[in-house]
Amino acid sequence: MNEKSIVNTIRLLENQKIEREIAFQEALDERKRAFELARLQYAYPYKAIASVTVTLISGVATYRHKNLLYLIPIAIALPYLAHETDAFFGRSTARIKRRADLLYRERLAEHEPHVLVADVKHRLKELQRGSDME
């Protein structure tokens, strides 16, 4: 084997290694998000039952004692239940992801640019072209 074929083989292996590392990291992140959603879905029925129970008990106590201050727990339980319902169906994760992407793009515009996957691939192609010319 000549030297050029060895260099090309090494570059090919490095490219495959980088692509696999990126794919592995993306798969790991996706698995973490799926685990978090599964955890929320498991806990949701308990949280929903507790919130509805607090709401009912507060309503009955308010009616029975004629004291509107007993309604304060409802102001806490209902928004909590709404938030957990939103998280249970997975809509909040999509919103959080969109917001994170927006913040990332804003920070990227403010600071010096970070290294992106496309930049790495472009640089590898440039290096390959440079070695082919030699």
At 17-55, the pLDDT tens digits run 888 888 888 888 888 888 888 888 899 999 999 999 999
Q: What is the mean pLDDT of the chain?
A: 84
CA atoms within 13 A on the CB side of 8: 10
Domain tally for the chain?
Answer: 1
Instruction: Give the pLDDT confidence score for residue 56 in this predicted structure.
Output: 96
Calculate the alpha carbon distances from 106 to 10, 54, 70, 128 in Å: 37, 42, 45, 33
pLDDT at site 62: 95
Alpha-carbon distance of 18 to 87, in angstroms, equals: 34
46: domain range?
3-133
pLDDT over threshold 80, residue 116: no
Digit-coded pLDDT (tens) for 45-93 = 999 999 999 999 999 999 999 999 999 999 999 999 988 888 888 777 7
Tokens standing for residue 4: 């050029």
